[in-house]
Chains A and B, each alone.
Chain A
Amino acid sequence: MTFSGEFLAFMSLALVAVIGGVLLLNLTRVVHMVVALVFTFVSIAGIYVLLSAEFLAAVQILIYSGSITIIMLFGVMLTRHNDTSEPKTGRLRKLLLFLGVLGFAFAVYIGIYNLDLPSAPNDLHVNNTEQIGIELYSKFIIPFEVTSVLLLVALVGSIVLAKRDDDKEAEKE
């Protein structure tokens, strides 16, 4: 394996992503965890660029590091009771879960360790956004429209769920 520029970029991006994930598990203040999450999301966008998916990288930065982290911050702020999440779960349970996850990782790693796929030439990097648009509006037009319905349902549903129920509140007081 040669140390080309692509390899160095991949290694540094992967390092930042994994460090962000580990910090996410180990930090105690919830806001710090969200900042670690932003690091992970931005480096995943860099990984997408390496995989010649530039449009997806832009979408990742817009949606994940933009809106999802902001929505999570809203969730933290609106439900503030004590900002730090105290580790109160049992040590034995954590150890067992860690071993289970480690076993899962090992099992999957055996599967991908010797994976050897024949590499075929591709032209994903030329006019990536145009290719996605053409494919989305020709082959995937019905899933695309169904997605719009899904987003509408999610919007209405979350408003209805999070809306303060005025009658019930008045009844309580």
Chain B
Amino acid sequence: MSAVPVQAYLALALILFCIGLYGALTKRNTVMVLISIELMLNAVNINLVAFSKYGIMPSITGQIFALFTITVAAAEAAVGLAILIALYRNKKSVNIDEMDAMKH
């Protein structure tokens, strides 16, 4: 048995996920909301990698899946910021509670 149990990794991922969730729900700046979403995705990646080592059937597949998640997260961040810049050009604001119309 290893020195660090799998519960410790899962608990760390849970704490980071909750921080990201709270930030995504309370922050007003849209950039901060995107950053909090990235933090949540990172917590999920920790879970994937932890189960790829300490799961019932340890295999490399968990790490591959984490790689795909990182790729999709990067694409999501790029598109999210592009949408944010387009919205900022129209409304001159980055506060998420003022973006409540489907057309400008």
- Give chain B residues whose Cβ lies under 8 Å from the Cβ of A147: 68, 71-72
Nearest Cβ in chain A — how far from B79, in angstroms? 5
Contact B23–A25 (Cβ < 8 Å): yes
The dominant DSSP class at the B interface is helix
Contact A122–B29 (Cβ < 8 Å): no
Cβ 8 A contact of B28, one of A4, A53, A85: A85
User: Per-residue CB proximity of A93-118 to B under 8 Å, as 1/0?
Assistant: 11001100110110011001101011
- Give chain A residues whose Cβ lies under 8 Å from the Cβ of B12: 14, 17-18, 47
- Given the known inter-chain contacts A47-B12, A68-B74, A75-B81, please indicate yes or no for A22 contacting B3, CB distance below 8 A: no
Nearest Cβ in chain B — how far from A34, in angstroms? 7
B72 (CB) vs chain A CBs: closest residue:
A150
List, sorted by A's number, 25 A–B pairs whose CB atoms are closer than 8 Å: A2-B3, A30-B32, A33-B35, A37-B38, A40-B16, A53-B52, A56-B66, A68-B38, A72-B35, A75-B85, A89-B97, A98-B22, A101-B25, A105-B15, A115-B7, A115-B10, A119-B1, A124-B52, A124-B58, A136-B64, A151-B74, A154-B79, A157-B79, A161-B82, A162-B81
Q: Across chains A and B, which 7 residue pairs bring their CB atoms closest together, nearest first?
A: A122-B58, A158-B82, A154-B75, A161-B82, A21-B19, A4-B3, A162-B82
